[in-house]
Structure 1
Amino acid sequence: MTEPTPDEPAVRVTTLELFFDLVFVFTITQLTDVLAEHLDWHTLGESVLMLGLIWWMYSGYAWLTNAVAPSSTFRRSMLLIGMAGFLVIALSIPEAFGDNGWAFGVGYLIVSLVHSVLFLRSAGLGGYQAASRFAPVNLISAGLVLAGGLLPEEHRAAWWGGAMVVQFFVPYIRRIGVLVLIAGHFVERHGLVMIIVIGESIVSIGLGFVGVELDGSSLLVALLGLGVAYYFYWAYFAGDDERSVEALRGIANPVHKARVAVWAWGYAHFPMIIGIILFSAGIKKAIPAAFDPLKLNAALALAVGAAGFMVGHAAFLMLLRLRQGVIHRLVAAVLVVFTVFIGRIDATAQLVAILVVMAGALIIEDAPAVLRSRSTTLHTFGR
């Protein structure tokens, strides 16, 4: 993490925040399992809708702990209640569009109430003024989620979709006051949760071996899946986290800074996360297939998942005006989509193709910097 500027306090992510993130990531595990079990358009739509609702409130907690350190018994206790709400949400996910819709709604309401109470009580005057504007809208959204969970299943998607629309327009429905945004903490918090989410793809590799013989072909698929997960990590963390801190710090206007943060770390991160979920679901299908053809849904999950991650990160870089690497990611995303046709012939070959495309794009992106570094080193020794 880069050093803070003199006018920005050095605030690090606390262990309690990491503990909170682990509970949140359990929702990612649940969504991946549901999607892998029923890999079709209907389940994908439900998963995207649930993730959209969940990610909005997780992002709200990232903003909360950026402004309110969990430094008192009251704050820590309230965060524990918020974690309990996320756990209820996660446990309800497999049947959220069935018998457990009420539990999803109750958990979501708990998460929203805790977020609002902590902001209104503990975030200082600026935080109180901001929360007094966005908290009522968040609670309206939570009310829609709860109502949808209590209504018959056929109405649930419409009510939850309405809640997601409300959330999307929260920054525009009402003017949100100025919140002090500590760039180093904000970027670090999202980076840490992303590394845990990327780790979900590795967990999916292990779960894909349930009932599958451990042999050379299945091991090869597992190692290829690990390689792709590594390039998810490389794309996100190989210097761009440092650049993003500086880019966010460099925005002088606090209102514009908040708007960029919402778009870059809120909206642009969403396709990255759903991309990892899709790829993880696909890898579960690829392990037992090995050198056999994949069904279209599994081949699409692998390709669209990897491509979605790359497109999301390209959008993230563009929002921060960090143009280096954008073209590489977009070209890689297009090429990765075409690996669907390879997967329909051979699962392992598709994973090889995805790995080669992603590795090639990121290595080519880094090549000029590596050459400059070597040139500088040689020049220094020459002197």
Structure 2
Amino acid sequence: MADTPADPVLRAESSSQRATFLELFLDLVFVFALTRVSQRLVEDFTTDQRILLSEAGQTLVLFLALWLIWASTAWVTSTLEPEAFAVQGVVVVTVVCSMVVAVTLPQGFGEGGLIFVAGYLAVQFVRVGFFLIATRGRVVGDPAAPRRVLFWAGLTAVPWLIGGMAGESLLRGVLWSVAVGVDYLGFTLGWPTPRLGRSEYGAQPFAGEHLAERYQQFLLIGLGELILVTGVAFSSGGGAFEPGRTGALGLALLTTVLLWRIYFYRAGHVLPAAIIKSRDPTRLGLAATYTHLTMIAGIVLTGVGYELSITHPFGHIAPAWLIAILGGPALFLVGRAGFEFLVFGRISRSRVIGLVLLAAAVPVVRRLPLVAVAGTTAGVLLGVALSDLRRSHGKALEAPAPPI
């Protein structure tokens, strides 16, 4: 890494690996943003079940756009000096634009479509423009990087804008799905651009410990959102400690603790060391983006399942609700298994067994009350966590062995 005043925007070796207060401030916006995703999903599961797939697909597109904003910002602050004025300005712009995206997300496929797009595209264009102005165009390290990002942003701005102006939600969904898919492709490949090449992640200064900490922090944000959503669901019913509602709330808290335990034991805890030890740290860090995306999606879906369980503890189960109550933890375990492979080069049997049990529970629990289904989910996660505890008892802690 550069460590000279001539490259004030690049990370120096002496730079702190810890997240800055400004980055943590950005995370507060995403706590709120995730609650808006949950709000949309609850509406998706409680409206006409015949259009659930379409509605949930729309929410997924909005969630993917939201995650890409956070992930790309985490990469910026992991490759550049987060205390530099230009980089701090990029984060501030992201805070403002992300708030616009968050408040319009529930109506992203309704009247708020164009405003949502404006906030999302502003992240792409305004923060790159601010960075170029703040550095007076003297971009160090990879001078063509901002132009590559702008090229890809301009490429996807067309379907984003046309979709925002489209009055028909199906057309909007198709255009925005293509747009967000291309955005992810550009991010993954380093924004390859004619005559400008592409950004070589491995050739840039890179703070692996910082990026690992940001992933850990966002995972905690997801768990915090789960607590927030279930707490609000319980208190909105008057806060009365009725047996069913109280039981569902207790199971939600237990599940939150179990998800935390399963994540941080042991891969989540040693992720910084795994990135440092990796033969290709930037590739591992990029792969971890997608495993964490899967786990966060699972946590959000789990929160929706528990909100339904708290609101209707003994109510009739709509078959689609099982997608949230059982599918959320299953999605988390899928992401956690992939994450474990990145860190240790193997997958624990407990993750696979947990997935099998959740799938096998679907035909069994369909006639049970929601609180009982939630209890089944918590029981499976408890088994996974206990398996981890038993495997580690009396043994030396496993060191990371990334296959990348």
TM-score, with structure 2 as normaliser: 0.83
**Residues 162-216 of structure 1: CA deviation (Å, up to 9, x unaligned):** 1122123213362322222211100101111110111111111112222364312
2:174 paired residue number: 158
**Residues 271-326 of structure 1: CA deviation (Å, up to 9, x unaligned):** 2122112111111111132234422122221100110011011112223444253x
Q: For structure 1, which segment, 24-33 or 125-134, has the greater mean C-alpha deviation from structure 2 after superposition? A: 125-134
2:152 paired residue number: 137
1:17 paired residue number: 23
Contact 2:38 2:301 in 1 (8 A): yes
2:161 paired residue number: 146
Q: For structure 1, which segment, 104-113 or 332-341, has the greater mean C-alpha deviation from structure 2 after superposition? A: 332-341
| Separation (CA, whole Å) in 2 of partners of 1:337 and 1:202 | 25
Shift of 1:337: 3.1
- In the comparison of the two structures, how many residue pairs are matched? 364
Shift of 1:9: 5.1
2:290 is equivalent to residue 274 of structure 1:
no
1:46 paired residue number: 58
1:211 paired residue number: 237
1:239 paired residue number: 266
Structure 1: gaps of 5 or more residues: 1-5, 375-383
2:383 is equivalent to residue 356 of structure 1:
no
Shift of 1:111: 1.1
| Separation (CA, whole Å) in 2 of partners of 1:64 and 1:284 | 35
Change over 3 Å in CA distance of 1:94–1:367 after alignment to 2: same
Contact 1:130 1:176 in 2 (8 A): yes
Contact 2:38 2:304 in 1 (8 A): yes
AA aligned to 2:298 is: G
1:82 paired residue number: 94
2:7 paired residue number: none
1:31 paired residue number: 37
| Separation (CA, whole Å) in 1 of partners of 2:17 and 2:250 | 37
Map 1:64-103 → 2, pairs under 5 A:
64-103=76-115
Q: For structure 1, which segment, 93-102 or 165-174, has the greater mean C-alpha deviation from structure 2 after superposition? A: 165-174
| Separation (CA, whole Å) in 1 of partners of 2:143 and 2:352 | 40
Please identify runs of 4+ aligned residues in structure 1 that moved more than 6 A. none
Q: What secondary structure is seen at the aligned counterpart in 1 of 2:229?
A: helix
2:281 paired residue number: 257
Contact 2:90 2:131 in 1 (8 A): no
**Residues 217-245 of structure 1: CA deviation (Å, up to 9, x unaligned):** 21111000111111111121223223222
Contact 1:141 1:163 in 2 (8 A): yes
Q: For structure 1, which segment, 59-68 or 341-350, has the greater mean C-alpha deviation from structure 2 after superposition? A: 341-350
Match of 1:167 among 183, 204, 229: 183
Change over 3 Å in CA distance of 1:262–1:229 after alignment to 2: same
Contact 1:290 1:346 in 2 (8 A): yes
2:309 paired residue number: 286
| Separation (CA, whole Å) in 1 of partners of 2:56 and 2:255 | 22
| Separation (CA, whole Å) in 1 of partners of 2:341 and 2:316 | 37
Change over 3 Å in CA distance of 1:133–1:287 after alignment to 2: same
Shift of 1:38: 2.3
AA aligned to 2:259 is: F
Q: For structure 1, which segment, 95-104 or 7-16, has the greater mean C-alpha deviation from structure 2 after superposition? A: 7-16
Contact 1:295 1:344 in 2 (8 A): no
2:190 is equivalent to residue 184 of structure 1:
no
Contact 1:134 1:176 in 2 (8 A): no
% identity of equivalent residues: 26
Q: For structure 1, which segment, 101-110 or 361-370, has the greater mean C-alpha deviation from structure 2 after superposition? A: 361-370
2:321 is equivalent to residue 295 of structure 1:
no
Contact 1:144 1:160 in 2 (8 A): yes
Structure 2: gaps of 5 or more residues: 1-11, 46-51, 193-197, 398-404
Shift of 1:343: 4.9
| Separation (CA, whole Å) in 2 of partners of 1:7 and 1:101 | 43
Change over 3 Å in CA distance of 1:27–1:143 after alignment to 2: farther
Q: For structure 1, which segment, 300-309 or 67-76, has the greater mean C-alpha deviation from structure 2 after superposition? A: 67-76
AA aligned to 1:146 is: L
Contact 1:88 1:107 in 2 (8 A): yes
Shift of 1:64: 0.8
Shift of 1:124: 5.3
Contact 1:271 1:312 in 2 (8 A): yes
Change over 3 Å in CA distance of 1:74–1:10 after alignment to 2: closer
Q: What secondary structure is seen at the aligned counterpart in 2 of 1:71?
A: coil
AA aligned to 2:354 is: A
Contact 1:13 1:188 in 2 (8 A): yes
AA aligned to 2:140 is: L
Shift of 1:127: 4.4
2:70 is equivalent to residue 58 of structure 1:
yes
Shift of 1:113: 1.9
| Separation (CA, whole Å) in 2 of partners of 1:109 and 1:297 | 34
Contact 2:89 2:127 in 1 (8 A): no
